[in-house]
Structure 1
Amino acid sequence: MKYEWIDEYLLKMPGVSKDLQKDWNWIRYRIGEKMFVAICLDDNDKPYYITLKPEPLEGDFWRKQYEDIIPGYYMNKTHWNSVKADGNVPDDILMDLLEKAYRIVLESLSKKRQKEILGDAI
């Protein structure tokens, strides 16, 4: 996978956990029980897509900018995008998309849960 830094980058975010959803062969990154990023693995357990949650209009914008960003792989096509794991999306763009996916899901949690995750940072 081109984006070897993703695991370390995501796990540094407050409240993020990682697991393997065996039935789907996806490595999921979650805040509480809510997924915000998944690394979809192929039959040889190699990363195939990085699926993340954008705002719908922004997701559509990025799909028009990069051929390596497609509607969510096996996900709701409005609320998820997938980035080819060996694609040509610049690292800084992907980092921004990952950060925004984190914020979208974090902000969907109750204020109490956000405070538990972020402490006094909110």
Structure 2
Amino acid sequence: MDGDTIQQHARDRVEELPGAELEYPFGPDWEVFKVRGKVFMLMTDTTGEPIVIVKADPEDSKSLRENHKDITPGYHMHKKHWITLNPGGNLQKALVEDLVTESYLLVVENLPRAKRPVDPEIFGDRRGL
């Protein structure tokens, strides 16, 4: 899957997530997606190719990196909690969508209950990862 396709799948999924917003706090080269002011996904092509950076549970992150050559530690982010989805390999659309959703839900889980746009326990099927 090429980078533009990875980024488009990620964007399409974000459009379905309640309360998700796009900002450009680092300039036009960085798309930053937030829920209630907290970052859950970034996209850029400053590395020379279009990439998607998402939050991941540390254990899931390790497993994903071991099993997918196109998933690497988070570019310019805390390597334990963030991963980068890189183009050129065989990442499937469903996996990209699942990883975006998981990142969103990891952030939502840490919001005060009154600020949560969804209940993370019942939103989507998180067991698919």
Unaligned runs of 5+ in 1: none
| Equivalence map 1:1-122=2 (5 Å) | 1-3=4-6, 4-23=8-27, 25-42=29-46, 48-114=50-116, 117-118=117-118
Moved more, 2-11 or 61-70: 2-11
Q: Which has the higher strand share?
A: 1
Q: Deviations over 1:33-81 (max 9, x none)?
A: 11101112227xx752100001000000000011110000011000000
Answer yes or no: is the 8 Å Cα contact 1:27–1:40 preserved in 2: yes
Structure 2 length-normalised TM:
0.80
Answer yes or no: is the 8 Å Cα contact 2:71–2:84 preserved in 1: yes
Count matched residues.
117
Superposed CA RMSD: 2.2
Q: Return the structure number with greater relative CO, CA threshold 8 A, min gap 6.
A: 2
Structure 1 length-normalised TM:
0.84
Unaligned runs of 5+ in 2: 124-129
